[in-house]
Amino acid sequence: MKNNTHGLSQAQLDAHWMPFTSNREFKKDPRIIISAQGNYYTDADGRKIFDGLSGLWTCGAGHARPEITEAISKQSATLDYSPAFQYGHTKSFELAYRITELMPDSLNRVFFTGSGSESVETALKIARGYWRKQGLASKTRFIGRAKGYHGVNYGGISVGGLSPNRALFGQGIEACHLSHTMINDNKFIKGLPNEGTYLADELEQLVALHDASTIAAVIVEPLAGSAGVIPPPVGYLKRLREICTKHNILLIFDEVITAFGRMGSNTGAEEFGVIPDLMTVAKQLTNGVIPMGAVIAKQEIYDTYMETGGPEYMLELPHGYTYSAHPIACAAALASLDILAKENLPERVKDIAPYFQNSLHGLKGCSHITDIRNYGLAGGITIEALGAEQGKAEPAKRPYEIAMKMWKKGFYVRYGGDTIQLGMPFTSTLPEIDSLINALGETINEIR
Ligand code: PXG
Ligand code: PLP
């Protein structure tokens, strides 16, 4: 067996089919992370690497927080697992209540899942069931948005709007899509763009085409993350809300990236002043330490299930995961939300966001950059496709090369499609922002 420098054999490397990874490229020259502390990773060569995406938008409070470590260790020694169905443990109720305190008032019923994808699937099912329970069984269609990312399960890829995530997988569920808001007028705009609010009116056209009697819900990310950070035009989400209310269509905000601080508020709903009927969360809920997600519903939706649930011993919602409300995940989430509150992290994000914004937009003028977008501590840069002039476009090549060079220089940034994404830790210092942005500018200019 051949050993590579990381002590892993080729057979071991080959055995793991890695998610959303170029497996063949990775396994030739693996990027192995050994440990993490605060805002930095240490790799197999002992190098310190700044975490410019907070894990995968997960670890805003920084890595290896002792409060979370302790909570997990205590919980696993006390109650490591508890059957999720028909029996309960105290932490899930404490956590559910704690989450509702961070939500807009009317969102006050929490269903736990194991991830963002499961949260999306759960929200879509709750939405369809809600209408069916009211005798409106034809309301099954979902409306998503181009460039939307809602995880990888069949419901999520159906409402999602990233074609590479759908192309291989055949028939999904009934869904159509609004246009995205990444229009030419909005290039290099700092924060929320003023143009593009009119794009919300496409919802009226889709309702006219399909009829509200066939539509269960609209699902959007308040700020699209995976597509490369697309902040909503001013008034856009409010307009979607008005049209949904007018036509009796549920509005779902997928806040897997935007909830718990990233936008400078507890949620995107709070930050942008628009209240959905259902919200999906995950990632930052446990600071990324343990998988956990949740769907938060308006009480009226929960009450509808209860009122139509039949005899009391019967299930109102035949849905749930083995790991729903896992006790260790609940303990991690409680500790993580404690840190968020104690250290005022959403406020800290709001405080340093203008600095991040100016620093990031200072990259305008570097080679290949065709757009820069930001809000809170999220930033997206579009890179012109290699070979676009010759009609042989390779949109993902330059972002890949940029991210690899950055890794070598000691900075982790995310690349996806034709974009580079930044999701700075909430605990970033201003010099850390400067050094990441400087290295990024230098690196982008080095690329052919
Ligand atoms: N909805 C949204 C809005 C997300 O951002 C999911 C659902 C799915 O969550 P899970 O936990 O099933 O992965 C996500 C996840 C990126 C990146 O590079 C984004 C995500 C995941 C991995 C990478 O932007 N978002
Ligand atoms: N597949 C099989 C055969 C199962 O028994 C279960 C759960 O009991 C599942 C899938 C679903 O797993 P989970 O509840 O972790 O989503």
Over range 304-328, report the average pLDDT. Answer: 98
pLDDT tens for 209-228 read: 999 999 999 999 999 999 99
Per-residue pLDDT at 5: 58
Per-residue pLDDT at 388: 83
Distance between CA atoms of 229 and 400, rounded to whole angstroms?
A: 17
CA 128 to ligand 1 center in whole angstroms:
23
Per-residue pLDDT at 2: 42
pLDDT tens for 192-201 read: 999 999 999 9
- Residue whose Cα lies nearest atom 2 of ligand 2: it is 322
Domain-terminating residue out of 314, 342, 370: 342
Helical pair 116-133 and 299-307, crossing angle rounded to 10 deg:
60
pLDDT at 3 over 80: no
One domain, residues 221 and 260: yes
pLDDT tens for 346-369 read: 999 999 999 999 999 999 999 999
One domain, residues 247 and 356: no
Residues facing residue 422 across a β-bridge = 379
How many structural domains does the chain have? Answer: 2
In a domain, 335, yes or no: yes
pLDDT at 443 over 70: yes
Ligand 2 pocket, residue 112 CB under 6 Å: no
**Is residue 314 within 8 Å of residue 266, measured between CB atoms?**
no
Q: What's 119's domain CATH number? A: 3.40.640.10
One domain, residues 336 and 367: no
One domain, residues 53 and 176: no
Domain-terminating residue out of 342, 376, 393: 342
pLDDT tens for 36-79 read: 999 999 999 999 999 999 999 999 999 999 999 999 999 999 99
In a domain, 11, yes or no: no
Distance between CA atoms of 375 and 373, rounded to whole angstroms?
A: 7
- Residue whose Cα lies nearest atom 20 of ligand 1: it is 226
- What is the percentage of the chain residues whose pLDDT exceeds 90? 97
**Three-state secondary structure readout of 323-392:** CCCCHHHHHHHHHHHHHHHHCCHHHHHHHHHHHHHHHHHCCCCCCCEEEEEEECCEEEEEECCECHHHCC
Per-residue pLDDT at 390: 85
Per-residue pLDDT at 391: 85
Per-residue pLDDT at 260: 98
Nearest ligand to the CA atom of 252: 1
pLDDT at 4 over 60: no
User: Residue holding tokens 């902040």?
Assistant: 231
CA 150 to ligand 1 center in whole angstroms:
7
Cα–Cα distances in Å, from 113 out to 86, 118, 295, 345?
Answer: 16, 6, 8, 24
CA 68 to ligand 1 center in whole angstroms:
22
- Residue whose Cα lies nearest atom 15 of ligand 2: it is 322
pTM of the predicted model as reported, rounded to 2 decimal places? 0.96
Per-residue pLDDT at 234: 98
CA 122 to ligand 2 center in whole angstroms:
15
Token pair listed for 230 = 């697309």
In a domain, 135, yes or no: yes
**Is residue 377 within 8 Å of residue 423, measured between CB atoms?**
yes
One domain, residues 48 and 136: no
Nearest ligand to the CA atom of 84: 2
The DSSP string of 185-203 is GGTT--SS-STTGGGGGHH
The dihedral built from the CA positions of residue 417, 150, 433 and 287, taken in this order, carries a sign that is: negative
pLDDT at 175 over 70: yes
Per-residue pLDDT at 348: 98
* Shortest-distance atom of ligand 2 to CA 324: 14
pLDDT at 81 over 50: yes
The dihedral built from the CA positions of residue 218, 223, 226 and 227, taken in this order, carries a sign that is: positive
In a domain, 20, yes or no: no
One domain, residues 221 and 319: yes
The stretches of 172-277 forming alpha helices (DSSP H) are 202-210, 236-247, 268-272
pLDDT at 305 over 70: yes
Model confidence band, residue 389 (pLDDT cutoffs 50, 70, 90): confident
pLDDT at 1 over 90: no
With vertex at residue 209, the alpha carbon angle to CA 207 and CA 212, rounded to the nearest 5 degrees, is 35
Helix (H) or strand (E) holding 124, with range, is helix 116-133
One domain, residues 157 and 182: yes
The dihedral built from the CA positions of residue 422, 425, 429 and 432, taken in this order, carries a sign that is: negative
Full domain range(s) for residue 371: 31-61+344-446
Mean pLDDT score across all residues of the chain:
97
Nearest-Å Rg of the Cα atoms of the chain is: 22
In a domain, 10, yes or no: no
